[in-house]
Amino acid sequence: MTATKTSKHTPLYEFHRTHGKMVEFAGYDMPIWYTSTLEEHMAVRNRAGIFDVSHMGRVDVTGPDAAGFIERLFPTGIGKQPNGKSVYTLLLNEDAGIIDDLIVLKAEEGKYLLVVNAASKEKDLRHMERVGAGLDFKIDDITETTTMIAIQGPSAVEALQPLTPLPLAEMKRFTHAFSTVKGINSVITRTGYTGEDGFEIIVHNAATGAMAIWEALMRGATPCALGARDSLRLEAGLPLYGSDMDEETNPLEADLGWVISKDKRSYVGWQRLASLTQQGPSKVRRGIVMDERIPRHGFKVTDKSGDEIGLVTSGTFSPVLKRGIAMGYVKAPSPQPGDPVKVVVRDAPSDGRIAKFPFYDDSVYGWKRKPHQQ
Amino acid sequence: MSNPSPYLVPDGLFYTNEHEWARVTGGTARVGITDYAAKTLNDIVYLTLPPVGREVKQLASFGTVESIKAVSELYAPLSGTVIGTNQELTNHPELINQSPYDAGWIIELKPSILESEKKSLLSPKQYEEVLKSLDADHQS
């Protein structure tokens, strides 16, 4: 079973162990659910949920050449962004393969906080050291000295506001600010991985204060675990690094071309990206909604006549749609939303159709939803 | 930890190592998955079941049960012919989580070699032992 002894613990481990079903994930002992993935999922869609995301890597980048280093590292023009922006971007290799996806918090020119995937952190750091050779800057891995909690859902503002003096309703999406949460110095960023409005809080010196913050948040939000985190992000159409993309995938294939700043040059991978942009991708990440059955990682996708056109990279049951949903890669020219496809579920070709992201109606669910008329 | 098992294991049923149960009444057997299986899978959202009339073999797969996260095979506790499936599960697969031994039954069989096959199934006491050894693995 799980290698409990060698896995790391987050500052909220005792809560998880007592209340949740534990699994090993990216080197950490983490909860897969507390009570029910379905209930946790719908708590986030309808109210608010909290997630311990302390396993995510957190890395400070500072120093005289930090701004230049950041420009060299990413396809997104972060230099021209105002201070306080939280930018979703990608780390690319020379072939424009995706090393990781991450959020860069630009505190100010020369001062950045990168939030990376747990399983990718070590390779990200190696890549960053290679790219930064000769530049004067410092990388500090602050993962172990901070706690990170996500609060997500339409009532995230109400649930978090009592704990912080920061006026949350005034914050724009994809911005962040330094403040306190229950009196503890924290970074609050209006980002997340569920499709909903919400925040991610990075709490400093957290070992003592994390549990108090978690318990205070529980007054307005439901504890949610990795199972719900995965079904929520999939329903929102957000890719998972390692499943839906890796170093063999480029941003155009991953449907993440929007992170590339067109006017930008001289970052790792840009020459390859320039020629790829000319050629166009040979496969593209797309969503599929099933009539019946649940697609899973590795299942084949065919056109309606049965010819193989792609592979599922993530699949689950959508609690909102009450159907199987998937994302995967289909050959270009890729089918468009509404086009029929089949997914081969354990030898049975099963009907589905290409869907747009997010899978749900974004006027009813997600951060774009219209305010409730009650 | 030597706590009593947190899972229900009712008397009067036959169990498999793969966490199915069979309730034999007269010449038929109702089949489902155990409380342990239902709790371990967490929310059950989908089933693939055999048509009525299908022959199943003891400990061979007769269908699948799916949670949000994973697919699991369903193994027949007994050989026989499928004479019914629980239609309620089509729209309410959560019945398996709520009532794994009653409302959440999955198929009904007409066993073909009941007397000899019964002997290879586990008693409630033996199945409790299986759960205890699984629990010990988790704790080590």
This complex has an ipTM of: 0.87
Question: pLDDT tens digit string along A281-337?
Answer: 999 999 999 999 999 999 999 999 999 999 999 999 999 999 999 999 999 887 899
- Considering only CB atoms, A294 lies closest to which of B43, B46, B140, namely B46
The proportion of chain A whose per-residue pLDDT surpasses 90, expressed as a percent, equals 94
Q: How far is B70 from chain A (nearest CA, A)?
A: 8
User: Cβ–Cβ contacts within 10 Å for residue B125, how many?
Assistant: 10
User: Cβ–Cβ contacts within 10 Å for residue A266, how many?
Assistant: 8
- pLDDT-derived band at A231, boundaries 50, 70, 90: very high
- A293 contacts on B by Cβ (under 8 Å): 46, 48
Which residue shows structure tokens 């939280």? Answer: A86
**What is chain A's mean pLDDT, rounded?**
95
Question: pLDDT tens digit string along A50-63?
Answer: 999 999 999 999 99
Tally of CA atoms within 13 A in the half-sphere of A60 that contains its CB: 15
User: Cβ–Cβ contacts within 10 Å for residue A197, how many?
Assistant: 20
Write b or e for each residue in B30-65: b if 16 or more Cβ atoms lie within 10 A of its Cβ, otherwise e: bbbbbbbbbebbbbbbbbbbbeeebebebbeebbbb
Residue B117 sits at φ, ψ, to 5 deg, of -75, -30
- B64 contacts on A by Cβ (under 8 Å): 346
Can you say whether residue A319 is alpha, beta or left, with left for phi > 0 and alpha for psi between -120 and 50 degrees?
A: alpha
Could A293 and B45 be called an inter-chain contact, meaning their C-beta atoms sit closer than 8 Å?
no
- pLDDT-derived band at B2, boundaries 50, 70, 90: very low
Which residue shows structure tokens 């709790």? Answer: B39
Which residue shows structure tokens 């009653």? Answer: B102
Sign of CA dihedral A6, A59, A153, B71: negative
Indicate if the pLDDT at residue A16 is higher than 90: yes
**CB < 8 Å from B in window 269-308 of A:** 293-294, 296
- B48 contacts on A by Cβ (under 8 Å): 293, 346
Q: CB within 8 A of A144, min separation 6: which ones?
A: none
Q: Which of B137, B92, B84, B72 is nearest to B109 (CA)?
A: B84
- pLDDT-derived band at A206, boundaries 50, 70, 90: low
Q: Are A345 and A299 in contact (CB under 8 A)?
A: yes
Looking at residue A340, what DSSP letter applies? E
Chain A's closest residue to B135, CA to CA, is A1
Which residue shows structure tokens 């840009």? Answer: A270
Cα(A257)–Cα(A244) distance, integer angstroms: 15
Question: pLDDT tens digit string along A309-325?
Answer: 999 999 999 999 999 99
Cα(A341)–Cα(A324) distance, integer angstroms: 14
- Give the residues across from A178 on adjacent strands: A187
Could B43 and A38 be called an inter-chain contact, meaning their C-beta atoms sit closer than 8 Å?
yes
Cα(A11)–Cα(A54) distance, integer angstroms: 8
